[in-house]
Amino acid sequence: MEYTIRTPSFADYDRVMELLIEMANFNELSELHTPKWTAKNEKAIANLITECARTGIFLVGEVDGKIEAVIIGAIFPNIWLQDVKWLREIAFWVSNKARHTKLGFRMVMKFRDEAIEMKNVGYINNFVITSLEKLPVEYEKFGFHKIETNYAWSK
């Protein structure tokens, strides 16, 4: 298998959207399942992706020339300290076809390396990455440490 990680082009948009829909449908929160891409949602997502490509991190991973993974990081100010900027991973998904290959590992490494560079030049203060409860990732292997756990209302 040949793995490639790169910044996507406009031509990749439809495949990226397919992967984001797969990720939404896998999430335990049912309100995210089968997202309805209204014109308003589509424009907001396109704007967010464009902003992440411009100022954050936006990568796709290919296996033998087909996009099978996406990772997106957006820069946000800390809610309490507006001058503290964090790069937050807002989407990370590897398709079923590529899930147990080296692609996910390589995507995290590339995200981490690019985020470290952004931190080293002072563009961000720190960066965080998430893991779905149903699909845990051992981010400690990559140098991360757990700082928070989120809970959703389920009744």
- Assigned domain for 155 exists: no
Predicted confidence (pLDDT) per residue in 16-68, tens digit:
989 998 998 887 777 777 776 667 777 888 888 888 889 999 999 999 999 99
H, E, C per residue of the chain: CCEEEECCCHHHHHHHHHHHHHHHHHCCCHHHCCCCCCHHHHHHHHHHHHHHHHHCEEEEEEECCEEEEEEEEEEEECCCCCCCEEEEEEEEEECHHHCCCCHHHHHHHHHHHHHHHHHHCCCCCEEECCCECCECCCHHHHCCCCCCCCCCCCC
- Assigned domain for 152 exists: no
Domain ranges, residue 85: 3-142
- Assigned domain for 58 exists: yes
- Assigned domain for 69 exists: yes
Evaluate if pTM is beyond 0.85: yes
For the chain, what is the domain count? 1
- Assigned domain for 41 exists: yes
CATH number of the domain enclosing 44: 3.40.630.30
